[in-house]
Structure 1
Amino acid sequence: MEIDELTPAELRVWQAFSRGTEVNFRTPPDEEATAGNTWGPERTLRAEVLRTLLLNGPRTAGETAVLKVAGARITGRLDLQYASVDCPVHLWACYFEEEVDLYGAQLRRLSLGVSVLPSLHATALRLDDSLRLTLCRVRGPVRLAGARITGALFLDGARIGEPAQGADATSAPLPEDASAPPLVPDRRREDVLQLNGAVIEDHLSARGLTVHGTLRLYGASIAGTFDLAEAQLNCPAGVALAGTGLAVGSDLNARYLRANGELCLKGATIAGTLVLSDSRLDNPTDTTLHASTLSVGADLHAMRLVSNGRINLRGARIPGQLNFAYATLSHPGGVALRASSLVAGELWFREAPPIQGMVSLRRSQLDLLHITPETWPDEVRLDGLTYTTLAPHEPAERRLALLRRDRDGHVPFSYEQLTAAYRRIGDDGAARTVQLAKQRRHRATLPPYARLWGYVQDATVGYGFRPVRAASWLFSLLLIGTLAYTAERPRALKPDEAPPFSALFYTLDLLLPIIAFGQEHAYTPTSTGLQSLAYALIITGWVLATTIAAGVTRTVSRQ
């Protein structure tokens, strides 16, 4: 392309290129590019001119060539497919009339910050430095699948995709009412930000990013931090973030995130901490956070999180804290939290309101479980849940109500875990209360004859966990027998051989089936009433002895 074919605006850019200086068409300097379609020829550049400049533009010895333009209107399609560009490209606050095509291109550095684009096709892009899309407005998809960026990717404040029904994200906030009917997903807006298979060798900064559609990160790798703080992801009734197999080398910060749709981090690996504190996730009819088999190197912070939908943490590995302090989890009629087979250091629900929807912690392993009885929902599944410490300390009666709400019915393992937790802190009384409740719950599953024997054991010695009750029975029967046989002394069978009569030891002889004081065989009651009392004392003694022996055996075996 000859210089005499260039417009005055293009000539300015051509001449500045080899010197590495900027051409700024912005008037005033803070002018927005959203009105770029109204800009005249004095600030209009043809895409073919920029292509020629980047591939075959003039170079000045000793100077670094840079394409650095601000506030230009770029007409035509900027086609750099498979191109190799060895100079930095800065097209700041520009308005692109057609798609920017960087498929398979090799670039040194690219900055399109504050620009307006219909779409960006940069699949398999190779960048030796960073890619800046800060504050960009992209109406269509941004395709970076398979891209490899040696530096960082900046998406701070960018808006990608168009909101449903033409509404702006700022004028259509996410619904606060969890019972509001779900919006119908617009399939045309899915996958508007594609980073699947991308490799970012530094960090990905996307603070304040707004996406209308799906942010896809399947199998992507981010060596540094992934910052999604204050972002808005909108894909109603769809997948707002598809991050299956995502690998993050440091922290994933999604504090103050607003997501309408599912966040999928299934099988993702985050070497540092995942932060969802102060965020709001809305997907009332389905899953808000799908993070099954997630692996986190440190903690998952979800303090003050509001989730309207199901959270799925099945099989996740979180060696530090899983912190839902002050969080609101709601999925009425469904599962609010599925965390079966979870392995975590600590699970916190400190001062969290009552959970609406079922909680499943089956087969999970925790060092510390911190939750008040009031926070648990009306339905749970806890079979196989193990924990070392249960906090805060509550009376056993307040904890037992939860075990009766288990969807799986009578789960003996849950009672054993609660018993062990009380024993570890030295509260043996609470441990015995839990074991007694376990036997009573088990009794309801037995046939009638076994239930009858269970009632006898419960009434007499509390299945061996209420030894004072057995002593009370013995003392009461001993008192009754002593008074009765003192009032009407039994007759000696062989007066010459009988030992002196003692009403106390005669009653003990009747009550205790093993120990003999020589009274029972030497004397016999003189009336039918006293004989009936003797039979009653003998039968009751055997019952008490059997139940006490069974209870003691059970208690010793538990030790």
Structure 2
Amino acid sequence: MKVSFRAWPCSSPGRVWLFSAGYVRSHGSASRRRAPIKLAFGSRRGGRDLCWCTQCCRPVESYAVHRATGDWPGDGSGGRSVRGSVVLRGARFHNPSDSGLALNAARLRVGVDLDLRGGLVAYGTIDLCDARVGGSVLLEGADLTAHDSQPALRGNGIETGGVLNLCDGFTAHGRISLNSVTVRSRLCFDDAALDVPAGGTALSCRGSSAATLSLHTREASAGIIDLRQSRFGMLRDDPAAWPAGLVLDGAVYDSVQPALPARTRLPWLGRDPAGFVPQPYEQLAATCQRQGQDAEARTVLVAKHRSMRPTLTPPARL
């Protein structure tokens, strides 16, 4: 389908134009077109950033996108590149179609930041798979709602040079998939709400790495947070927000905060839906030993053996 584009110049220095198409609601009146269409973003020659925000462009509320998929076109080499920042503050994406894709930025290359703050709302999946962002990915305050069994955010393979912020009012109605991601600074879920049915996966973060993982969520999730085979320099959490299910098998971290007594931290290790797994106990004990807390390490290892005993055959218990 061919669509016409409109371009709005951004008044901030260093920004370039945002090109938008189709299903645009202008000042409260929705378009009558019903077939899903694409959004395409481009830059003028010599431009550095793509911007669509309330601070410097026309009010985003007047250009909420309905029944549309945001889709960056290729750059001719199989990739999608922006030398500066991509700014979509306060954008609204709504795609009720079967594909469930609200924003397709898979394999996007961004030189600076990917800024999706300012109350961005998406009904459908935001796809950031294999994106490469030189700066930070910012989703503070965003509200994402998934279709049926689809993820609210699919970001497998993301690499960022800065932080990946899903915090400060961030809300996901549906699972977040961040497998095999590399975050060179902080992966943050502080004051985030991870809303999934009991027993569902709230966050899948397998085989990932970050300097810091912060899980001070707004409240305890009824779902499962899966961190297996991931590596973090520091893991920060809040006992009041420990999720119903937590998978730590193969997860490695240098330190954990707050520095709770071992007996207080033990219930954190026993939340794997699969039952007893020895490695998380060994990892916590090793962390205690590195910090000179030998008595705490022994407490953890004793708890490991006690938890392991019921899993053994009767002869092995003797």
Same fold by TM (over 0.5)?
yes
- Partner residue in 2 for 1:281: 144
The 5-angstrom pairing of residues 346-365 of structure 1 reads 346-350=212-216, 352-365=218-231
Q: Residue 193 of structure 1 aligns to which amino acid in structure 2?
A: L
Cα distance in structure 2, aligned partners of 1:187 and 1:403:
52
- For the residue of structure 1 that corresponds to 2:145, the secondary structure is strand
Aligned length: 293
- Partner residue in 1 for 2:178: 313
Offset at 1:382? Answer: 1.5
Q: Residue 104 of structure 2 aligns to which amino acid in structure 1?
A: A
Pairing 1:193–2:64 present: no
- 2:193–2:217: 8 Å Cα contact kept in structure 1? no
Q: CA, structure 1 residues 200+395, in 2 after alignment: closer, same or farther (shift >3 Å)?
A: farther
Q: CA, structure 1 residues 423+198, in 2 after alignment: closer, same or farther (shift >3 Å)?
A: farther
Pairing 1:378–2:244 present: yes
Offset at 1:351? Answer: 5.4
Q: 2:87 aligns with which of 219, 223, 227?
A: 227
Q: Residue 96 of structure 2 aligns to which amino acid in structure 1?
A: P
Cα distance in structure 1, aligned partners of 2:175 and 2:140:
17
Q: Residue 89 of structure 2 aligns to which amino acid in structure 1?
A: A
Offset at 1:257? Answer: 1.1
For residues 279-318 of structure 1, what are the alpha-carbon distances to aligned partners after superposition, in whole Å with 9 as ceiling and x for unaligned? 1111162211100001111111222211111111000110
- 1:162–1:189: 8 Å Cα contact kept in structure 2? no
Cα distance in structure 2, aligned partners of 1:194 and 1:431:
55
- For the residue of structure 1 that corresponds to 2:241, the secondary structure is coil
- Partner residue in 2 for 1:120: 4
- Partner residue in 1 for 2:109: 247
Offset at 1:448? Answer: 1.6
For residues 530-555 of structure 1, what are the alpha-carbon distances to aligned partners after superposition, in whole Å with 9 as ceiling and x for unaligned? xxxxxxxxxxxxxxxxxxxxxxxxxx
The 5-angstrom pairing of residues 484-495 of structure 1 reads none
Offset at 1:379? Answer: 1.6
- For the residue of structure 2 that corresponds to 1:277, the secondary structure is coil
- 2:210–2:232: 8 Å Cα contact kept in structure 1? yes
Offset at 1:187? Answer: 11
Cα distance in structure 1, aligned partners of 2:27 and 2:242:
35
- Partner residue in 2 for 1:262: 125
Q: TM-score, normalised by structure 1?
A: 0.49
- Partner residue in 2 for 1:532: none
Pairing 1:301–2:176 present: no
Pairing 1:434–2:300 present: yes
- 1:284–1:331: 8 Å Cα contact kept in structure 2? no
Pairing 1:396–2:262 present: yes
For residues 206-239 of structure 1, what are the alpha-carbon distances to aligned partners after superposition, in whole Å with 9 as ceiling and x for unaligned? 1125222100125321111100111111113611
Query: Which runs of 5 or more structure 1 residues have no equivalent in the other structure?
Result: 1-98, 102-118, 122-130, 136-150, 173-185, 454-559
- 2:96–2:123: 8 Å Cα contact kept in structure 1? yes
- For the residue of structure 2 that corresponds to 1:363, the secondary structure is coil
- 1:169–1:210: 8 Å Cα contact kept in structure 2? no
For residues 54-74 of structure 1, what are the alpha-carbon distances to aligned partners after superposition, in whole Å with 9 as ceiling and x for unaligned? xxxxxxxxxxxxxxxxxxxxx
For residues 396-435 of structure 1, what are the alpha-carbon distances to aligned partners after superposition, in whole Å with 9 as ceiling and x for unaligned? 2222213222123221111111112222222222211110
Q: Residue 37 of structure 2 aligns to which amino acid in structure 1?
A: D
Moved more, 414-423 or 266-275: 414-423
Offset at 1:328? Answer: 0.7
Cα distance in structure 2, aligned partners of 1:347 and 1:440:
29
Pairing 1:367–2:233 present: yes
Q: CA, structure 1 residues 350+154, in 2 after alignment: closer, same or farther (shift >3 Å)?
A: same
- 1:236–1:283: 8 Å Cα contact kept in structure 2? no
Bigger relative CO (Cα 8 Å, ≥ 6 apart): 2
- 2:18–2:41: 8 Å Cα contact kept in structure 1? no
Cα distance in structure 2, aligned partners of 1:418 and 1:267:
31
Query: Which runs of 5 or more structure 2 residues have no equivalent in the other structure?
Result: 54-59, 74-78
Cα distance in structure 2, aligned partners of 1:322 and 1:199:
34
The 5-angstrom pairing of residues 507-518 of structure 1 reads none
Moved more, 303-312 or 205-214: 205-214
Cα distance in structure 2, aligned partners of 1:159 and 1:152:
17
Q: Residue 252 of structure 1 aligns to which amino acid in structure 2?
A: L
Q: Residue 36 of structure 2 aligns to which amino acid in structure 1?
A: E
Q: CA, structure 1 residues 197+228, in 2 after alignment: closer, same or farther (shift >3 Å)?
A: closer
- Partner residue in 1 for 2:57: none
- Compare the two structures and name the one with the higher helix fraction: 1
The 5-angstrom pairing of residues 156-167 of structure 1 reads 160-161=22-23
- 2:18–2:43: 8 Å Cα contact kept in structure 1? no
Q: TM-score, normalised by structure 2?
A: 0.83
